[in-house]
Amino acid sequence: MPQSNFHNFQVDKVAMRYSNFAPRLFNFCLSLGMAPYKIIPSRAFCSDENQGYPIILIAKHFGSFPFNHGRVGGIVATDRHGPHAHHGKDSVIIQASHVGYDPDSDSFGVYRRLQTETMELSDDCGAICGVLHWYEEEYAFASQQIMLETDAGRHVVVIDNHLLRQDRKEGIFLNLDKLVKSNEVVKAYSTAKSFLASSHLLKQVGLSWPDKKESIGKHLFPESFYFRKESDMLVASGQLNQNLIHSMPDIICSNYPALAAAQANAQFEFDRTFRTIVKEKSYRGKKVVFISGIHIDISPRDGQLFPLTKFVPWAAYIQNEDGSGYTLEQDELFTALQQQSKDNPYKIDLTEAIHLMEKEPEVHLHVDGV
């Protein structure tokens, strides 16, 4: 599987409040010829409670509670396409991985849980962060157990013997050609071996090369290593791992690993799901919009019940009734949404709708023989 290109995934320039995104998406669907109250929206979101606010806004603007297309981490349950298609005249699928943001510390990957005893910060998305932790620990071990030093005027790299083993099934593995000049051992220690540094590493470290032995630390750059880890594809975490593993060196070394992982996962899920929609016969004869992106869950402050969620669009696939379709890339999708009005005359008043249902006469269930 190829690496993602999350470095090309714009965030701040295209992020929009969900209260603006939801009506714009609805109006975009109308511009494609979909009819109000005949669209069945679907969401492929994580199961976290902070994903409820987007769901409420989708229901408000589309006039229907969205079908559930999602597994933890924002993985799309592609085997649910058929049932989704049967529940409305036209279909919309919104896929979104999510990442928390704490505005007080400008930190991605955490979210304040209002319902906990002390309203503490915790991982968000928990599923994505849970996958990340193993890789972060592997990277931390390697960055501490690979040492740089100057030995008799020579720049050498001291590498833990465990990291030199290629017969391991899982773990962090080194691209030795990026770190050492050759396989010739300069010195052998009880738990490590030293080698002459490669020209690539010398260039990367530059004048900060230490005289005395020091850990390589942040100089263990993404091109210097890769990972192996087995995935159980029967569970969502296995799909998450499969989506992220090839991009994990870049993710781990990024300024905001949780944000980078959410971006990479959204990109892979769009790529993976797009083809299943093209092949799904149940969507033939219907208009379909599949839009993918990420949710930024901004931690609520005092007096706020919900996060100030922002949607960051990545790409969209639009399919016509005859099965023909086209893709909108990020810039094109953002422009298309921005051109739509934030006003929606077809939106429903959820409070009024609930009150009307409460006033409806009781319906008694008649079950013969019970």
Q: Which residue has the tokens 């669209």?
A: 39
Q: Do 191 and 141 share a structural domain?
A: yes
Domain assignment present for 199: yes
Question: Residues 159, 212: one domain?
Answer: yes
What is the pLDDT at residue 117? 85
End position of a domain, from candidates 228, 245, 270: 228
Backbone angles phi, psi at 278, to 5 degrees: -60, -40
Among 190, 209, 228, identify where a domain stops: 228
Both 284 and 323 in one domain: the answer is yes
Query: How much is the pLDDT for 1?
Result: 47
**Residue 140 and residue 223 share a domain:** yes
| Domain annotation covers residue 13 | yes
Q: What is the pLDDT of residue 370?
A: 60
pLDDT value for 93? 98
Domain total in the chain: 2
Residue 59: inside a domain: yes
> What amino acid occupies position 339?
Q
Classify residue 49: in a domain, yes or no. Answer: yes
Q: Say whether both 12 and 103 belong to one domain.
A: yes
CA atoms within a 13 Å half-sphere pointing along the CA-CB vector of 367: 2
User: For the packed helices 126-145 and 257-279, what is the interaxial angle rounded to 10 degrees?
Assistant: 130
**Quick check: is 76 in a domain?**
yes
Same domain, 37 and 93: yes
Q: Examine the fold and report which residue of 228, 244, 276 is the final residue of a domain before the chain moves on.
A: 228
Length of the chain: 370
Do 266 and 325 have their domain in common?
Answer: yes
| SS3 label, residue 70 | strand
Q: Select from 36, 97, 45 the least CA-distant residue to 66.
A: 45
96 and 161 both lie in a single domain? no
Residue 189's domain spans which residues? Answer: 134-228
Task: For residue 17, give every residue at least 6 positions away whose Cβ sits within 8 Å of its Cβ, in sequence order, or none.
Answer: 308, 309, 310, 311
Residue 32 covered by a domain: yes
User: According to the model, what pLDDT value does residue 292 have?
Assistant: 98
| 365 falls within a domain | no
Residue 272 shares a structural domain with residue 188 = no
Q: Is residue 233 part of a domain?
A: no
CA distances from 329 to 94, 294, 316 (A): 15, 15, 7
pTM of the full structure: 0.92
pLDDT beneath 50: ranges in the chain = 1
Cα separation values, 52 from 283, 309, 369, Å? 27, 10, 40
